[in-house]
């Protein structure tokens, strides 16, 4: 690692440093080396992307090269870029993240989209986002549904600190009520819509998640079949859903049948529907009042 760090910390221009880092990330099979090397270099230089491109042929100072080398080394050791730079974009908004919260995934935008679809057809005055993590789902919905009161719960106090910082950053602290506790337990009233991206990774798949060891296991692990938390949430739903309310759950690949059956047995009066993400994977199961 020391050799690698010193090899990125060469003299030359920003462009040279970037090219070298991109090669190193590519050699380590990091998925998007071109983008990630830019993300790390802009962070090291404390510049935005436009500034970087304008100054591409400027010489990198030894301090800047050393700082960039440190960030690249962290990435080569497997730490996700979102944690290194401290933020990640989701649904067009920027969220602070740290190792106490899951990094928002693009496929989770589907749950936001389906919630907005539901809100077109029926009045939704209250929403609960269960296991909110950094608050990405709750805050995206708060932006798009300005009349709605939102609760966001998490069992992790450290995660709620991150969510709170994000609520402030997005100016929605007065509309999102953060509650610490287990699943639906802390909700003070029934709500019109429950959304949740709960931990759903099975025990055998846990170490295959490529951020394993960096993201909190608590936010990923769903027990032997991945459905421990989802099952428990279902057992609490009837007390916390308003009459005519709906539930949207993010699920893992291959879980549509099991989660659909679970909901159908527990709530025979509801319509159960699965929604597919951009990769063609059944990613959200909805329990919709009809
Ligand atoms: N989508 C995440 C992954 O597979 C898991 C998120 C979750 O458990 N809710 O990496």
pLDDT of residue 3: 44
Contact 106, 160 (CB under 8 A): no
Ligand 1 centroid to Cα of residue 162, in Å, is: 19
Domains of the chain from N-terminus onward: 14-78 (1.10.8), 87-288 (3.40.50.150)
Distance CA 134, CA 162 (A): 5
pLDDT of residue 160: 98
Ligand 1 centroid to Cα of residue 113, in Å, is: 18
Ligand 1 centroid to Cα of residue 227, in Å, is: 12
Q: What are phi and psi of 2, to 5 degrees?
A: -60, -45
Question: Which atom, in ligand 1's list, is nearest to the CA of 201?
Answer: 8
The residue to mutate among 136, 197, 229, having the most atoms of ligand 1 within 8 angstroms of its beta carbon, is 197
Q: Which two tokens stand for residue 119?
A: 């809100």
Q: Which residues line ligand 1 (CB under 6 A)?
A: 105, 197-201, 209, 220, 250
Q: What are phi and psi of 89, to 5 degrees?
A: -85, 140
Distance CA 135, CA 198 (A): 13
Question: Which atom, in ligand 1's list, is nearest to the CA of 108?
Answer: 1
Question: Which atom, in ligand 1's list, is nearest to the CA of 253?
Answer: 4
What are the per-10-residue average pLDDT scores of the chain (290 residues)? 53 93 95 94 95 95 95 96 96 98 97 97 95 98 97 98 98 98 98 98 95 96 98 96 96 98 94 96 92
pLDDT of residue 2: 44
Distance CA 63, CA 46 (A): 12
Q: What is the β-pairing status of strands 271-276 and 282-288?
A: antiparallel
Q: Which two tokens stand for residue 164?
A: 């709170």
Distance CA 73, CA 79 (A): 9
């Amino acid at each position: 690692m020391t050799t690698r760090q010193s090899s990125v910390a060469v003299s030359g221009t920003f462009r040279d440093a970037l090219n070298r880092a991109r090669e190193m990330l590519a050699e380590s099979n990091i998925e998007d080396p071109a983008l990630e090397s830019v993300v790390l270099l802009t962070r090291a230089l404390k510049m935005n992307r436009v500034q970087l491109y304008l100054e591409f042929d400027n010489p990198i100072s030894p301090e800047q090269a050393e700082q960039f080398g440190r960030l690249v080394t962290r990435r080569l050791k497997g730490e996700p870029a979102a944690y290194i730079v401290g933020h990640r974009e989701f649904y067009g908004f920027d969220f602070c993240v740290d190792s106490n919260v899951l990094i928002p995934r693009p496929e989770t935008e589907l749950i936001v989209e389906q919630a907005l679809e539901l809100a077109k057809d029926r009045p939704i005055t209250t929403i609960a986002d269960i296991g909110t993590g950094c608050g990405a789902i709750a805050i995206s919905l708060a932006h798009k549904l300005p009349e709605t009161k939102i609760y966001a719960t998490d069992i992790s106090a450290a995660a709620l600190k991150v969510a709170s910082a994000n609520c402030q950053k997005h100016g929605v602290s007065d509309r999102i009520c953060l509650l610490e506790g287990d699943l639906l337990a802390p909700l003070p009233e029934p709500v019109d819509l429950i959304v949740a991206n709960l931990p759903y990774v099975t025990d055998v798949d846990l170490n295959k998640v490529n951020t394993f060891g960096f993201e909190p296991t608590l936010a990923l692990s769903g027990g032997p079949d991945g459905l421990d938390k989802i099952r428990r949430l279902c057992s609490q739903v009837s007390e916390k859903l308003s009459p005519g309310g709906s539930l949207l759950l993010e699920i893992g690949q291959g879980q549509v049948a099991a989660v659909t059956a679970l909901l159908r047995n527990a709530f025979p009066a509801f319509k159960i529907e699965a929604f597919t993400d951009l990769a063609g994977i059944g990613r959200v199961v909805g329990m919709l009042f009809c």
